[in-house]
A and B are shown apart, each in its own frame.
Chain A
Amino acid sequence: MGLKVDLELCTGCGACVSVCPFCALVQREDGKVEVNEACTACGACLEICPVEALSMEVVEKKVDTAVLDAFRGVWVFAEQRRGKLQEVAFELLGEGRVLAEQLGVELCAVLLGSEIQDCAVTLFEHGADKVYMVDHPALKDYTAEPYSEAMSALIRKYKPEVVLAGATSMGRGFIASVAIQVSAGLTADCTELGVDTEKRLLLQTRPAFGGNIMACIICPDHRPQMATVRPKVFNHPVPVAGRTGELIQETVEIKDPVVRLLETVNAMQDEVNVAGAEFIVTGGRGLGGPENFKLLHDLAEALGGAAVGASRAAVDAGWISSFHQVGQTGKTVRPKVYIACGVSGQIQHLVGMNSSDTIIAINKDPDAPIFGVADIGIVGDLFHVIPDLIKSLKK
């Protein structure tokens, strides 16, 4: 199965070559097109061919539907660190609730750790019908192996149809192993989820190619359908005080961890973390050098304690640490106010911040793409505008 080129029909026009997001179509010496190993069978090229030389050969797999039907329920991984539930866990519960209702099933949270029972109460209040808890000393400090072992054991026993985890350092760090262990499909870093209720398929939409394209992905023949979900994309659900559910304490045999925690270092000690900030001022290449981040820190302070973010260009130039990076390869943020200073607005940056409530951009170049997403664009020299802004704020 896969993409087929009818070489009789192919005129060698090359139209398909440039639309393939994966560089999978290559012109031979005679101009006709060949498909290479990079093809993902996405179908982006099918419509562009003027002579219909491209077709998708699909072989229907023989899948025992009874096996798939045995899987029921929506699960979210409730990420906690040192007993504190992480924001993404709540966002997953909010979105998981929507999916569970469309599928007509329960919403369950999976809580892994040691001495974490208090978290279960919070999970119920945020919409979990059931909490599967594994309380085990091997899960006290997060390392990938015991976490994937515990998660895989729960999945094998209870057979959920959907499993979501945050696309965080932790979630992405262990969930790929789980997908291998339970032979499930896993889609990374989704920004939109939906359900095909008839086929009970999870429709998983995610940006790829540095955010230049969106891909919708399904997992038709395997269960559970697993996805990591980008933080700050879905809303924090409104908690219902006193709402309860069923706590299932599971005993799982876990091997002794092979990775040992020596030390934890909080690198953001004296600074506001961009990931959860309400106000963010971000600096890009236009800042010109590391010393000018001082100006942004001053603006952040004048705003009453904003976080300082940075574009990839500024981080790659070594002006500021990558903990500040906003964008496809950095953090996704959704503050009330986002002020981009000297940031050109490459797509890879925009996908990390374009759902902020109010976006303000300051840039010398009136054609900078950042103005395309800004609610308020200020065309001007940031070295003049920002000091004036600080003055006006302090008035």
Chain B
Amino acid sequence: MHIVVCVKQVPNTTQVRINPETNTLVRDGVESIMNPFDENALEMALLLKEKHEGSTITVLTMGPPQAEAILKEAVGRGADSVVLLCDRAFAGSDTWATSYALSTAIAKLEKADLLLFGKQAIDGDTAQVGPGVADWMGLPCIAYARSIEIADGKAVVERAFEDGYEKLEVSLPCALTVLKEANVPRMASLRGKMAARKLEIVPMTAEDSGADPEKLGLNASPTRVVKIFSPPPKTGGVLWQDEEPAEMAQKLVDLLKERKLI
């Protein structure tokens, strides 16, 4: 079985702060990481590989040359091969153009039996690229997967809803987007780290991927960002402190009753 995992390098958004004076994003000192949900997709692939002998994993990312770092991380954890799809022609791609570009790169690889994505990336939070790639490739896609079992060329997948989940069956090849609760991602092994250090990654260009230049980058992207701004700060209400817990508790109950909330 050949598993392709698509990953994205993202800034660690939990470290991002807003400068209250200029109302702009402070990104200094914020590290670039593998999108956390993609780590779960990679871990799902690694677990499947352990279970199904002879499986191989290719990890693919589209991004700037620096995105190589997350591919090395993936090799450290056990990926067999990696692809860095990197070209200025991809700049400004929205999810439509990104999913197209990724699909052309995947088509250049050995035929994939399973495509895995994180449920969404923490910088854009769109959750659109995984299902988009699947559609470009004409593959069925199950979004929000929390588990997978594969037997006899078929996958049984649990897909989460807002209030529960469903068990679904699908024939391979197919695509999944993976939830965080699916697993706990492993760390890179020492041996893996050694392999990653030696690895030289030759980027795949737009031309290499055979993509139609008319469908790439900002020009081909239907959506356009026209404005970026900071959300208006919400002003707080009253703060009770230096009082006994029991007093504050009683005050709160009285207030909720007064406002007819309870």
Contact = CB atoms under 8 A, between A and B. Distances in A.
Nearest to A170: B161
A203 B96 CA distance: 18
Contacts of A384: 245
Nearest to B90: A37
Contacts of B235: 372
B81 interface: no
Interface stretch (A130-138, A235-243, A283-291, A386-394): A386-394
Contacts of A187: 223
B142 interface: yes
Nearest to A38: B64
Interface string A314-333: 01100001110000110100
Interface in A169-212: 169-170, 172-174, 176-177, 179-181, 183-189, 203, 207-212
B122 to A, nearest CB: 6
Interface in B44-95: 62-66, 86-88, 90-92, 94-95
Nearest to B238: A376
A358 B259 contact: yes
A40 interface: yes
A392 B164 contact: no
B262 A303 contact: yes
Contacts of A177: 131-132, 134-135, 141
Contacts of B114: none
A178 to B, nearest CB: 9
B238 A375 contact: yes
Interface string A57-75: 0010100000000000000
A44 B229 CA distance: 8
Contacts of B167: 261-265
Contacts of B153: none
B249 A220 contact: no
Interface string B95-134: 1100110000000000000000000101111111111101
B40 to A, nearest CB: 12
A330 B160 CA distance: 12
Contacts of B166: 261-265
Nearest to A271: B163
B27 A18 contact: yes
B142 A378 contact: no
Residue of B63, B180, B236 with highest tally of chain A CB at under 10 A: B236
Interface stretch (A90-98, A121-129, A142-150): A142-150
Contact of B140 (A258, A354, A388): A258
Interface string A229-266: 00000000000000000000000000000111111111
Given A2-B92, A148-B135, A181-B135, A186 B223 contact: yes
Residue of B166, B179, B222 with highest tally of chain A CB at under 10 A: B222
Contacts of B170: 258-260
A112 B244 CA distance: 56
Contacts of B262: 303-304, 337, 393
A225 B156 CA distance: 35
Contacts of B218: 1-2, 39-41
Contacts of A59: 219
A49 interface: no
Contacts of A268: 163-164
A176 B95 contact: yes
A275 B262 CA distance: 20
A219 interface: yes
A143 B135 contact: no
Given A208-B125, A210-B122, A377-B237, A185 B252 contact: no
A36 interface: yes
Interface in B209-251: 217-219, 221-231, 233-243, 245-246, 248-250
Contact of A265 (B88, B164, B171, B225): B164
B181 interface: yes
B143 interface: yes
Nearest to B29: A18
Contacts of B13: 209-210, 212, 348
B26 A18 contact: yes
A339 B242 CA distance: 20
Interface in A61-113: 61, 81
A366 B243 CA distance: 13
Contacts of A13: none
Contacts of A358: 256, 259, 261
A186 B135 contact: no
A361 B249 CA distance: 12
A210 B28 CA distance: 16
A335 to B, nearest CB: 10
A50 interface: no
Interface of A: 1-2, 18-24, 26, 35-44, 48, 59, 61, 81, 143-145, 148, 168-170, 172-174, 176-177, 179-181, 183-189, 203, 207-222, 258-268, 273, 275, 303-304, 315-316, 321-323, 328-329, 331, 336-337, 346, 348, 350-351, 354, 358-360, 366, 371-381, 384-385, 388-389, 391-393, 395
Return the 6 tightest CB-CB contacts between A and B, nearest first.
A185-B222, A210-B13, A379-B241, A388-B249, A188-B126, A375-B237
Interface of B: 11, 13-14, 16-18, 24-28, 32, 62-66, 86-88, 90-92, 94-96, 99-100, 120, 122-132, 134-136, 140-144, 156, 159-171, 174, 179-181, 217-219, 221-231, 233-243, 245-246, 248-250, 252-253, 255-256, 259, 261-262
14 contacts: A1-B219, A21-B228, A40-B92, A143-B168, A176-B127, A209-B123, A214-B228, A258-B171, A263-B167, A265-B166, A322-B179, A336-B261, A354-B234, A360-B252
